[in-house]
Structure 1
Amino acid sequence: MTANARSATAPYRGYAAQEAVTGEGVAIELPVANLGSRLVSGLIDVVTYGLTCWGLIVLVGSLTEHSSDAVQRTAVIVVLVGVLVGVPAATEAVTRGRTLGKLVMGLRVVRDDGGPVSSRHTLTRALVGWPEIYLTTGTAAVIAALSSSRVKRLGDQAAGTYVVSERSRLDLSPPPQMPSELADWASRADIAPLDPGLAAALRQFIPRAETFAPAAREAHGRQLLGRVLVSVAPAPPPGHHPETVLRAVAAERYRRDLVRIARDQRVRDAVLPREP
């Protein structure tokens, strides 16, 4: 998931209270809303839309009481589709992923990459939500959410979205710091993107190295260094501890990714209107 970086050295922020980009340009995932909060949010929305439908159907019935049955049935269908599909889709598009229920529970719909949803995403969620929520009384949505690591209902899976909690706070480890003795080498080295599995292992090892037993720490550090150096040229100057080299590589990747993200954002700002 990504969010817009405002400068090459600024914190990487998104919808979450805190967010950071790793050395491989991968953002920490936003806090996923739990099933309980989603159920309460959905119940609030269903009750709201149900009362709205009831009121409009009564109004339409009074306006078309002298019309044919076909006209009355058509009017009812228009009301149902408009309220149960059109209203949630338009509301989420305008509010960047919120409905009344989500606003009450502090939730928001985002794309799978963490960005704000568009009308295409919200319309897809609403269209799938019609049979998923109303025709199955929410059973299909609950089953799909329980089987998903991100608590995604079928509409989320079809639209490529999920729901995050804006009231959760992520306590993230600080970005890797560049060892001063390797700063010059790292700035000139060609450091290719690391394999996702290796990048994840590196991110987990560096902040937790002190918790390892000394022998395991040394062995794991040297194993990671051997895998990392395949993607680095030229090799680091001899005589440095493996962890020092690993920190230098991670810190330089982090710095370069922030620069790249800021450059991409400047290009987007130049050709596209800034999002509110």
Structure 2
Amino acid sequence: MRLDTLHTAETPEGIALSLRPAGLMARSLAYLIDLAIRLVAFIVLAIVTGGMGGVGTALMLVSYFALEWLYPVVFELSRRGATPGKRALGLRVVMDSGLPVTPAAALIRNLLRTADFLPALYGAGLTSMLLRRDSKRLGDLAAGTLVVFTDSVSLHGEVPGAEPLAPLRPLNMREQAAIVSWAGRTRRLTPERLEELALIAQSVLPAGAPGAKASPRLLGVAQWVLGRRNVSGNDKGARP
């Protein structure tokens, strides 16, 4: 079962980054926007060079090559790392490490669009994106790149309210951090996944009624770890 669709990368400085890969729908819409932009630009150039004879034809061929192959490379190497279509959908191209895309990687991922197109209508690329969790097409696999959403990823939120419960035994700092981190993600997880993760901490959970779920009790432990103790005696137990 997937916990989420995040891609975790580590920079050379040892900084962990959480990236959210863009799926098939977002990338397809971005491609259609870029295709429309290139088509409009080509039509305008055709009108301008229409009366230039052979020179106009040569300019059209050069323009077609630039729009088809250089258009994505130039924009992906810009500060925003994205073509206008990707920017409109809130996407950008980065390396697997989360760093800005390199010139070599940008060239490779775009040149291999010919392989993604096979056998027709980007069949190979679409199949690869559907089968992979990070939605990489063949060009991304060869170049070591990733198309991600530019909005920040929030892994942890507010811990939901619960009756504070003391753990069965003292908790070290890593265990405390793990429990609070789990509690902060409750609104992003399904109830089944939440319970599955809570059962891992069964050894520190206070006793509950027969058949009681583990997740409400672990939320209580999270509240206790955060210092939200009852004055009534439920907080009497192991200290973290």
Alignment of 1:246-261 (within 5 A): none
CA deviations on 1:161-217 (whole Å, 9 max, x unpaired) are 0111123532248xxxxxxxx99xxxxxxxxxxxxxxxxxxx968955993477645
- 1:112 offset after TM fit, Å? 0.5
Is the Cα–Cα contact under 8 Å of residues 96 and 118 in structure 1 kept in the other structure?
A: no
Q: Which of 9, 26, 30 is the aligned partner of 1:41?
A: 30
- Is 2:79 the counterpart of 1:95? yes
CA deviations on 1:33-83 (whole Å, 9 max, x unpaired) are 1221111111101111122223224434432x256xxx93x5443222111
1:211 equivalent in alignment to 2:198? yes
**In the aligned structure 1, how far is the partner of 2:111 from the partner of 2:22?**
22
C-alpha distance in structure 2 between counterparts of 1:146 and 1:214, whole Å: 34
Structure 1 segments unaligned to the other structure (5+ residues): 6-24, 174-181, 184-202, 219-243, 245-276
Matched residue, 1:27: 16
2:209 maps to which residue? none
Letter of the structure 1 residue corresponding to residue 97 of structure 2: D
- How far off is 1:122 after superposition? 1.6
Give distance in 1, aligned partners of 2:44 and 2:10. 42
Residues 214/144 of structure 1: CA separation in 2 closer, same or farther (3 Å cut): closer
Structure 1 partner of 2:134: 150
- CA contact under 8 A between 2:11 and 2:17: conserved in structure 1? no
- 1:100, distance to aligned residue in structure 2 (A): 0.6
Hey, what's the Cα distance between the residues in 1 that align with 2:202 and 2:88? Answer: 51
Calculate percent identity across the aligned residue pairs.
27
Distance in 1 separating the partners of 2:106 and 2:200: 50
Q: Return the alpha-carbon distance in structure 2 between the equivalents of residues 49 and 122 of structure 1.
A: 18
Residue of structure 1 equivalent to 2:145: 161
| One-letter amino acid matched to 2:19 | L
Q: Structure 1 residues 88, 213: closer, same or farther in 2, change over 3 A?
A: closer
1:141 to 125, 128, 149: 125
1:225-255 C-alpha deviation (Å, 9 max, x unpaired)? xxxxxxxxxxxxxxxxxxx8xxxxxxxxxxx
Q: Residues of 2 paired with 1:135 and 1:55: CA distance?
A: 31
Query: TM-score, with normalisation over the residues of structure 2?
Result: 0.57
The count of aligned residue pairs is 173
Structure 2: which 5+ residue stretches go unaligned? 1-8, 158-171, 184-196, 206-239
Q: Alignment partner of 2:34: what SS?
A: helix
Q: Secondary structure at the match of 1:29?
A: strand
Secondary structure of the 1:164 match is strand
How much is the aligned-residue C-alpha RMSD, in angstroms?
4.0
Whole-Å separation in 2 of the counterparts to 1:78 and 1:134: 25
**Alignment partner of 1:117 out of 78, 92, 101:** 101
- TM (norm. structure 1) is 0.51
Distance in 2 separating the partners of 1:66 and 1:93:
33
- 1:12-42 deviation line (CA, Å, top 9, x unaligned): xxxxxxxxxxxxx472431111221111111
CA contact (8 A) 2:69 2:111 kept: yes
Cα 1:114–1:83 change in 2 (3 A) is same
Report the Cα offset of residue 133 of structure 1: 5.0
Higher helix share: 1
